[in-house]
Structure 1
């Protein structure tokens, strides 16, 4: 019984965070969803592409259920990093639609297997895994990248929150200017005590 509750809870959390990641693209133009916003090139659409590739791999091939579309090989040095950005030929719709197809495939794996079902992750030091371990890993990684998306979106237009209904997160520019100034003053004061 607890396994069913745990699986349902983890699966629900994964579904929620997937939607939050996609919401970060809403209302932005092509340039803004693709442009590199960090020194390493991290961008919103690339995060979605990356999540789709790795979720397909973890909740597909790890359990002998390969995703029916081509994926770059995990051990191909030339393909390394190609999942972190979209080419000009890949449309936003292509990337998002693929992510949603991955969700359907992953959801079928989660629904169809017990939490203690065995899998094999050849790129891990201890490759023998269970659905529970992989589901927790995918949820953790998706949350991690959702945090990246939060920061990227805030850099673009100041939007924060998890969805359009998250109005509590939208405090307004004046509120955030005051908050930022308080934090800056505290940082300067702490920095002035360094020797």
Structure 2
């Protein structure tokens, strides 16, 4: 299969996953996009920041193409790439996300899929572009799934994009929850 076909498919999937992740912020207050929603502090805007940071690193410096601008620190004990400080605005994080995506797509566009890179923190650090794009796609999709669950906890909204969203029917959801709970109890 030709590189351009594979690249096109991978980038289409990555764009969709990025869009799903960012869409989870839609209509939420500053507090709701920033507040910790798990015991480890995971929050929606922090997930966007994390995905942008790592996409810029993996599809930038791993291939000798450093991101043109400062990036949040990473691998800190406080997980600082997973939450947003009061001094960082939503627009700054979304701008970082857009710029990281553009930089990553330029890397994918300009290099062949067998281009060699190095990820020093991986057990097998010598990699090719194809493997790293698949890794970034999987990671972005994973975090979009986290965001989907977090958003559902906040206000019940679910889905991958506005086009696929169904209105929240509380009675339907309550009945489904009750049926699933009854099945779990019956199996235990």
TM normalised by structure 2 equals: 0.95
Equivalent residue of 1:180, what SS?
helix
The yes-or-no answer on 1:25 pairing with 2:22 is no
Checking the alignment, whether the CA contact within 8 Å between 1:60 and 1:105 is kept in structure 2 is yes
2:104 to 100, 103, 106: 106
Instruction: State the Cα deviation string for residues 68-87 of structure 1 (Å, max 9, x = none).
Output: 11224546x45x51000000
Equivalent residue of 2:163, what SS?
coil
The yes-or-no answer on 1:185 pairing with 2:179 is no
1:138 to 131, 136, 140: 136
The yes-or-no answer on 1:62 pairing with 2:62 is yes
Equivalent residue of 1:134, what SS?
helix
2:114 to 85, 109, 116: 116
Shift of 1:170: 3.6
Aligned counterpart, 1:34: 34
1: CA distance, partners of 2:119 / 2:178: 47
2: CA distance, partners of 1:120 / 1:73: 19
Checking the alignment, whether the CA contact within 8 Å between 1:160 and 1:170 is kept in structure 2 is no
1: CA distance, partners of 2:2 / 2:168: 39
Q: How many pairs were matched up?
A: 188
1: CA distance, partners of 2:33 / 2:74: 25
The yes-or-no answer on 1:174 pairing with 2:167 is no
Q: What CA RMSD, in Å, does the superposition of the two structures yield over aligned residues? A: 1.4
Shift of 1:156: 0.3
1: CA distance, partners of 2:133 / 2:108: 8
Structure 1 portions without partners, runs of 5+: none
Equivalent residue of 1:119, what SS?
strand
Structure 2 portions without partners, runs of 5+: none
Shift of 1:3: 2.7
